[in-house]
Structure 1
């Protein structure tokens, strides 16, 4: 007769079977802290960095989450947002983290904090009550929460005070702490025809209808800007080289500041009349110029006819 698997009972009285992790287990980041300190923003940052993020998870389900993640996509790092919204289950967090660590699961606890004044201001600006406010004031709710999270804050691996941080600064701090590498800005240079309307997702729009139009050359009309004859015709047009050099320089300077404003992708739209000749050739040339400046770029052509 085999021995039964021992069970771990947490303070809430909910027994969970002991989780035995395989040789390779993804890192688990427990994101917690004061309500209003920025958990939602940080969870979004983690997701953008490729983490698998689960929000508002009762602590006693963490071992099951790790087990299921290992069986699925164990290459992605795992983050769980745990906070006082879980009610009495929040008190389970300390023993659950201890148990996971004894079982070989690498766990880090990230605690977000802020001054009482900052938290009160944020709740008032958002026009919503503190989750522990009840019939009292926001400040009373904050005080109750501080009592509940004190032990977790003390054992946290990293505490970030967000009082003086805007959303962009908070993202930078978190990225510096948890990212293996910062994802590249995704740049798409898109050709289009004005007669078919502006692209709805364009961040920059360039009009190249000032260039000589291959449409009026009978031998070029059935071709597109991806064909060498059309490309050479467009790039030899008066002003084409100057436009590509000047516009790529302006775009390069702008892109250097995009990360500071929490932008992850940018679409640069290049338009001509029909989106077939000039815009296609210039979009390809602009993409090449930006690659030479160190950017990762893809080019797409919205209105070019399929071959």
Structure 2
């Protein structure tokens, strides 16, 4: 048991049009290394190749295997049995949906069934279902995506495989409102109420990364520690909520007028406090060099 450095492998298979690509994206957002449409015979080589890949070793690998891999039926059952013995965490998830739902999805995308243009969509579905029956019997979890929107499908995925242990990355960005709010913000905090070092001639050309700028704000705003504590409490509450809905990262943006002094200082303070709480943080000062 445990012959591979990669400890977790999730194999996603099932009916064409049932949501395999969506599940791949969901788990990739959770930190798993994702591979679409890999031949079954190459799974051991893939695991060996990823031994030096930090994310794959830490979080695991998710692969999609389906009827596009023609050797699926011939080798999947034996390969899955072998990997189940050799890996610490190996699972097969079979995605399904009703025939009517699959026909509707194929018609919506105007795609032919992967088993061939010579078959009608329904004929292809019926044939594929018969071919995949042994694989379905092997699956650790069967998820029916009939009638589910993306949010409902994501919930089903997490219920089916359990929560992923990948850490949520937090991006802290400073910006200036006069340059526009970052379009990919998940949460925006306006700190224009803080005293502005721009109006101090000796600080105007400095930035919020400089200690004397931070000291100026602290000296001029006596409630700064209360503000930071309350903001930190809010963020510590919110961040796990974003992870719960399947986001791989959350972008928190802090804005002042120009994006050079106050917003930068607050981002720097929050960065240290969040890191002390064990949260992975990346910092971006978008407008720090703008005039």
Report matched runs for 1:1-307 at 5 Å: 22=3, 26-69=7-50, 75=57, 77-87=60-70, 89-97=71-79, 100-101=82-83, 104=86, 107-132=90-115, 134-178=117-161, 181-194=164-177, 198-235=181-218, 236-237=220-221, 255=239, 257-259=241-243, 261-285=245-269, 297-304=281-288
Write out per-residue CA displacement over residues 153-206 of structure 1, whole angstroms, 9 at most, x where no aligned residue: 112222122224332333333334445744343222211234555445433444
**Structure 2 length normalisation: TM-score?**
0.75
SS in 1 for 2:166: coil
Q: Distance in 2 between matches of 1:78 and 1:226?
A: 39
User: Aligned-pair distance for 1:265?
Assistant: 1.9
Aligned CA-pair RMSD? 3.9
User: Aligned-pair distance for 1:144?
Assistant: 0.9
Aligned residue in 2 for 1:15: none
The structure in which a higher percent of residues are helix is 2
Compared CA separation, residues 184 and 105, structure 1 to 2 (3 A): closer
Compared CA separation, residues 35 and 272, structure 1 to 2 (3 A): same
8 A Cα contact 1:188 1:267, kept in partner: yes
Q: Distance in 2 between matches of 1:23 and 1:222?
A: 54
User: Aligned-pair distance for 1:32?
Assistant: 1.0
User: Aligned-pair distance for 1:37?
Assistant: 1.0
Q: Distance in 2 between matches of 1:123 and 1:147?
A: 19
Q: Which moved more, 1:238-247 or 1:124-133?
A: 238-247
Count residues in correspondence: 284
8 A Cα contact 1:33 1:153, kept in partner: yes
Compared CA separation, residues 198 and 257, structure 1 to 2 (3 A): same
Q: Which runs of 5+ in 1 are unaligned?
A: 1-20
> Which protein is bigger by CA-based radius of gyration?
1
Q: Distance in 1 between matches of 2:202 and 2:34?
A: 56
8 A Cα contact 2:271 2:281, kept in partner: yes
Write out per-residue CA displacement over residues 9-39 of structure 1, whole angstroms, 9 at most, x where no aligned residue: xxxxxxxxxxxx9576745433211111111
Q: Which moved more, 1:209-218 or 1:96-105?
A: 96-105
Q: Distance in 2 between matches of 1:158 and 1:219?
A: 64
Q: Which runs of 5+ in 2 are unaligned?
A: none
Whose relative contact order is higher, 1 or 2, with alpha carbons under 8 Å and at least 6 apart? 2
SS in 1 for 2:68: helix
User: Aligned-pair distance for 1:85?
Assistant: 1.4
Compared CA separation, residues 104 and 192, structure 1 to 2 (3 A): closer
User: Aligned-pair distance for 1:146?
Assistant: 0.7
**Structure 1 length normalisation: TM-score?**
0.72
Compared CA separation, residues 296 and 229, structure 1 to 2 (3 A): same
